Structure 1
Amino acid sequence: MLVLYGRSAEISALDEVIARARDGSGGAVVVRGEAGAGKTALLD
Structure 2
Amino acid sequence: RRKKRKRRKKRRRKKGRVQRMLAIDYFLVHISFDTFVEVQ
TM-score range, shorter chain: 0.3 to 0.5
TM-score (norm 2): 0.45
TM-score (norm 1): 0.41
Q: Which has the larger radius of gyration?
A: 2
Greater relative contact order (Cα < 8 A, sep 6+): 1
The structure that is helix-richer by fraction is 2
